[in-house]
Amino acid sequence: MSRTVPSAPATAPAPESSRRGFAECLRHAFRRVDAWFARPLSAQQVVLRLAIYLVLAANWPLWLQLARIGGAAGLYWRSAAALAVLIVCGMVAIFAFFAWTRGMKALWWLVVLVAALAQYYMLTYSVVMDPGMAANVLQTDAHEVADLLSLRLLLAVLAVVALPSWWLLRVRIPAMRPLRQIWRNLVLLVLALGVAAGTVAAMSRDLAPLMRNHPQLRYLMNPLASLYSTTWSVAHPLFARSGTLVPMTQGAALGDSYASAAKPLLFVLVVGETARADHFGINGYGRDTTPELAKRGVMSWREVRSCGTSTLASLPCMFSPLGKSAFESRDNEYENLLDVVQAAGLAVLWLDNQSGCKDVCDRVPHAAAADGLSEQARKSLCEGGECRDEAMLHDLDARLAAMPAAQRERGVLLVLHQMGSHGPAYYKRSSGAAKRFMPECRTEVLANCPQDELLNAYDNSIAATDIFLGKTIDWLRGQESKYDTGMLYLSDHGESLGEYGLFLHGMPYAVAPDGQKHVPMVAWLDGDLLRRDHLSAACLRAGADAHLTHDNLYHTMLGLLDVRSPSYRRALDAFDNCRGASVASGQKLLKTQGSSSDFR
C-alpha cells in the first residue's frame, strides 16, 4: 500500500530578498527613465515639450480661478483648453528666439524656476503677476525675502522643477548649422503665432467675454504673465518717460507765520505700512487696537483711500503734486513735497525702516533706522537684523541737533517710514506689550492659519504701530518748549486678510478689494501749532468722515507747514475749511475731497 508523503510547507520570501528586489526594480525604472531623458532631441522639440509641461504643472492658479468663476462644464473645458493652447503658443513663440543647440539649457531652466515660484505665491497668497507685482518683487529687500521663505516653498518649487531639471541635464541636443537653426526657429515662431491666432478666432465667442469680465486671468497665465510683467516693469519707465526731472520748487517760500511765531516748527510725518483703517480702534473697530492714540486725543479720518495697493505705487504718488490720474500717466518725473519744503528753507530728514523710499527722498538728507545706533541699541531694537520702528526714535534728539542750524531755526520736517504691519510675517512686527491678542499666526503661509489667529497677528502689528505713534507724540511733547509741534500719520496702502481668498496686497487697483485701499490717517497738533495755523480742532474732528485720498497729502502738508508754492491747491488741502474764517464759527465741516472714480 503506497503512502503519500506530505509536501514541505512553502516558505515566505525573506524580507531582505524582497527589499533587494524592490530596490532593483527602482534602479531598473530609474535607468529606463534616464535613458529616455537622454534621447537626442532638437532644440525646437525641447522648447515645445517644456511649454506643454509648464501648462500642466505650473498653471493651477489659472485652472482653479476658472473653476471659481463657474459656468457650464462644457464652457469651462473649452475655455481651459483654449487658454492652455494660448499659453503653449506664447511660450513656444518666446522660446523660438532661444531655441539654439548650445548654451540655452540654463535659460530654459530659469524660466521653469520662475514659473514654479510664481505659482507658489499665486496659490499661497492669491496674488496675480501683473506689472505692479513684478515691480514690487524687483524692489524687495533681503529681510522681506526671508519672511517669504519656508519649507513649503522649497517643496512646492521642487515639485515643479525637479523633473525638468533632470531632463534638461540629460537630454542631448545635436549640433545644427546656424542657417538651418534660424530657419527651424522661424518656422516654429510662425506656427506658434498661427495656432494662437486660429485659437483666438475659433474661441473668441467664449474668450472675449471671459477676459473682459475677469481681466485678472491674463495675469495668471504662467509663466507668460511673470515674463511680461517683469519686462514691462523694467523697460516701460525707460521708454515711457524722458528722464527729465520737472522742477516744482520755483516760488517756494515760507508763509507769514514764520515771521511772527515765537518758536520754530517741528513736524513729524509718519508714513505707515500696510495698515487698514478698519482695524484701528479709534475708527470704530471692535478691538481696542489703538489705546495709546485714544489717550493722546488724536484726530482720525475714517474714509481715506490710497493711491495704489503697494508701497512702490503709493509712496511716490502720495508725495507728488500731480494726483493719482496725472501721476500714473506722467511722461516725466516731478519734484515732490520734500523738495518744495526744503527749497522753502526748512530742514528735512527722512528716516527709513523699510526697503527704501522709492526715490522720494533722493534729494533730501535721509538715513536708515539702524544708522548710527550703538551696539547695545542694535541688540535691543534690531533683533535678527530687522529693526523695530522704535529704532527711528532712538537718539532722535541727536539727529535733530545735527541738522543745519540755519534751517533748523526756521523749522524741521521729519519723515518716519515705518515697517508697520508688513506681511506675511505679521507676528514679527510686534513684541512685548503689543501682543495683546493671542494666540497669533506664526507662519508666513497665511492660508494655513485659522482666521482668528491671522487677525490676532495683524491686530498685534497695529497695536505696535499705536505704541510707536504714542511714543512719537510723547517725544514731540518733550520738544514743546522749543518748537511748535505736530504729527500726521498716513498709511501707504492696506492689506487683504483672507477676504475673498486674498492675502497681502498689490492687486491691480481696479479689482483690488477695499481692504487694500482703505487706509488710516491720524493727526496730533499741539495748541501752539493750532493757533499758529489758525485751525479749529473742533472743526477738524467734525470732518472725521470726509472722503479723502492720498491726493490730499501734498497740499495738506504745505498748508500745515505754511509753505507757499504755485503748486499748492487749496481745494485739496484737507484742513483748509477749518482755517481762518471758519474757525470763528467752528461750524463749517470739511468738504468731500479727492473722491474721484480713480480711488474707487
Domain ranges across the chain: 24-236, 249-599
Question: Measured between alpha carbons, how far is 463 from 476 in angstroms, rounded to an integer?
Answer: 20
* Ranges 148-157, 167-176, 202-211, 570-579: which has the least confidence: 202-211
254 sits in which H/E element: strand 253-254
pLDDT in tens, 56-111: 999 999 999 888 887 677 778 888 999 999 999 999 999 889 888 788 899 999 99
8 Å CB contact between 340 and 568: no
Q: Which of helix, strand or coil describes residue 498?
A: coil
The fraction of the chain above a pLDDT of 70, given in percent, is 90
User: Can you read off the three cell numbers belonging to residue 492?
Assistant: 501707504
Distance separating alpha carbons of residues 573 and 489, to the nearest angstrom: 16
- pLDDT number for residue 581: 46
Bond from prior residue into 513 cis (ω within 30 degrees of 0): no
Could you give the CA distance from residue 551 to residue 423 in angstroms, rounded to a whole number?
25
φ, ψ (nearest 5 deg) of residue 58: -130, 25
Q: Which residue has the higher pLDDT, 90 or 236?
A: 90
End-to-end alpha carbon distance in the chain: 105
Task: Using alpha carbons, select from 168, 208, 189, 257 the residue that is nearest to residue 83.
Answer: 208
Q: Assess contact for 119 and 222: CB atoms under 8 A.
A: yes
Please report, as a single letter, which amino acid is at residue 514.
Answer: D
Class of domain 249-599: alpha beta
Average pLDDT, stretch 42-55? 92
pTM of the model: 0.76
Task: Report residue 424: phi and psi, to 5°.
Answer: -85, -10
Average confidence score pLDDT of the chain: 88
Q: What is the pLDDT of residue 585?
A: 42
Task: Measure the CA–CA gap between 394 and 550, rounded to whole angstroms.
Answer: 29
Q: What is the pLDDT of residues 330-382, one digit of tens each?
A: 988 999 999 999 999 999 999 999 888 999 999 999 999 989 888 888 888 98
Integer-rounded Cα radius of gyration of the chain: 30
Coil, strand or helix: which one is 549?
strand
What's the CA gap between 445 and 454, in Å, rounded?
10
Using DSSP, how many helices (H) and how many strands (E) does the chain show?
23, 14
Neighbouring-strand partners of residue 414: 268, 349
* Structural contact between residues 164 and 53, judged by C-beta atoms closer than 8 angstroms: yes
Query: H helices within 478-592, ranges in order?
Result: 527-532, 537-542, 551-561, 581-585
Residue 261 neighbours by CB distance under 10 Å = 18
Residue 267: its pLDDT value, please? Answer: 98
Specify the 3-state DSSP secondary structure of 569.
Answer: coil
Query: Which tens digit of pLDDT belongs to each residue from 421-465?
Result: 998 889 999 998 899 999 999 988 787 889 999 999 999 999 999
**CA distance linking residue 65 with residue 360, whole number of Å:** 37
How many whole angstroms separate alpha carbon 570 and alpha carbon 584?
19
503-504 and 496-497 beta bridge pairing: antiparallel
Residue (of 365, 368, 338) closest to 352 by Cα position:
368
Task: Return the C-alpha cell found at 320.
Answer: 507728488
